[in-house]
Amino acid sequence: GPVASQVAIKMLGTNGGGFFNANAAHPFENPTALSNFIQMVSIFVIGAALTNVFGRMVGDERQGWAILSAMGVLFLAGVVVAYAAEGSGTPLLHGLGLEGGNMEGKEVRFGIAASALFAVITTAASCGAVNAMHDSFTALGGMIPLINMQLGEIIIGGVGAGLYGMLIFVIIAIFVAGLMVGRTPEYLGKKIEAKEVKMAMLGILCLPLMMLGGTAVATVVAAGLAGPANAGPHGFSEILYAYTSVAANNGSAFGGLTANTLFYNTTLAVGMLVGRFFVKIPVLAIAGALAAKKTVPASAGTFPTHGGLFIGLLVGVILIIGGLTFFPALALGPIVEHLAGATGQTFATGG
């Protein structure tokens, strides 16, 4: 088939739909370490470049570099945790005398490092292509792709969508800075007032509504519990990953979840509708409100939004909001699975 042309489109356009079911783990779609590297770069290249486009549009390229730096900090942190978790392997196998990292679900031609890196990249952008099965990752290794999507895929993100997702958090960070210094917050010469903050929070809350709401329903009804291939916290993670992926417009699958049922087809479709379209409404409202405002010249009291202090504040706000929103769900899934595995506890197969 026309695999090469489709792979180029799926990666550059961050679509992620593979010609073969195994996606980028299939040798016809991703045969070598070089092709794997090119695909990872392709996933990020347009989304990353748009930060510079943004800086040029507002007349200050430093603004784009600041946003890219915040994205980079979050990305590198995810890579470190995912690789450390996969490289450490699983205590249960170590107890059987099988030392080394976790190679389950991974292609030997890529190994642990390239598989962990690919997983973080594809969930940081709204791509969904996979070169390893995330369901086979360790508990903490699989948690990082979840967190990337739960934040709204603002770490580079999709083509265009990642940038405006990050700008929503920028508005919240500017608002927090304004509260700390007792001044009306400003961004790029525009005053950030109640309307913009309300719309930003509405945009942030659209995704958790579907990610956590859909998961909550699926874990208490028989049709939902029939889906996961694993019991216990890993089965919960399979359900949580499905609703997180569709709401965040990623499209990758944790694997192990039988989702081709009336219940999952319907609820996941609703999740895609809300996650992909409803979040755009508050973003457009913010854009319209800011465009109508007059530009205010910078003064001595204006908080600079291109330096290290702003980058640190932005990263902190993202982590705080993400933690407050999703930590309870993560505690029920990958975190408790990791703690249980460390003590040798296992769970039966089946929903």
Residue 308 buriedness (CB in 10 A; 0-12 / 13-18 / 19+) = exposed
Instruction: Note the pLDDT of residue 260.
Output: 93
Query: Quick one: pLDDT at residue 351?
Result: 46
What SS3 class is residue 230? Answer: strand
**Which percentage of the chain shows pLDDT scores above 70?**
99
pLDDT band at 349 (very low <50, low <70, confident <90, very high): low
What type of residue is 192?
Answer: I
Instruction: Quote the strand ranges of 40-191, DSSP E.
Output: 186-187, 190-191
pLDDT at 325 over 90: yes
- Cα 253 to Cα 54, 132, 144, 203: the distances in Å are 31, 11, 14, 24
In this prediction, residues 272-286 reach a mean pLDDT of 90
* pLDDT reported for residue 322: 93
Backbone angles phi, psi at 241, to 5 degrees: -60, -40
pLDDT digits (tens, 9 = 90+) for 5-34: 889 888 998 888 888 889 999 999 999 999
Tens digits of per-residue pLDDT, 201-212? 999 988 898 899
**Torsion angle of the four alpha carbons 304, 316, 127, 34, in this order, in degrees rounded to the nearest 10:** 90
Distance of alpha carbon 313 from alpha carbon 190, whole angstroms? 19
pLDDT at res. 301: 76
Is 254 strand, coil or helix? coil
Among the listed residues 120, 119, 132, 128, the one whose alpha carbon sits nearest the alpha carbon of residue 251: 128
Q: Residue 225 — very low, low, confident or very high, per pLDDT cuts 50/70/90?
A: very high
* Beta strands at 186-187 and 190-191: parallel, antiparallel or unpaired: antiparallel
Domain boundaries, the chain: 3-342
Radius of gyration of the chain (CA): 21
Q: What is the pLDDT of residue 350?
A: 55
* Residue 157 confidence (pLDDT): 86
Map residue 137 onto helix, strand or coil. coil
- For residues 44 and 125, the answer to whether their CB atoms sit within 8 Å is yes
Please work out, in degrees rounded to the nearest 5, the angle formed at the alpha carbon of residue 307 by the alpha carbons of 306 and 313: 95
| Structure token digits, residue 188 | 């790029």
Query: Burial level of 311, CB count in 10 A (0-12/13-18/19+)?
Result: buried
**Could you tell me the pTM of the whole model?**
0.93
pLDDT in tens, 100-149: 899 999 999 999 999 999 999 999 998 989 999 999 999 999 999 999 99
74 or 302, greater pLDDT:
74
Sequence-separated (6 or more) residues with CB below 8 Å from residue 66:
305, 306, 307, 310, 311, 314
Sheet strands (E) in 190-296: 190-191
The model's confidence at residue 276, banded by pLDDT at 50, 70 and 90, is: confident
Q: Does position 261 have pLDDT exceeding 90, yes or no? A: yes
Both tokens assigned to 261: 């049922």
Structure confidence by residue, pLDDT tens digits, 144-175: 999 999 998 799 988 877 888 999 999 999 99
Q: Are 148 and 43 in contact (CB under 8 A)?
A: no
Going by the DSSP 8-state scheme, the letter that residue 1 receives in this structure is -
* The amino acid at 244: T
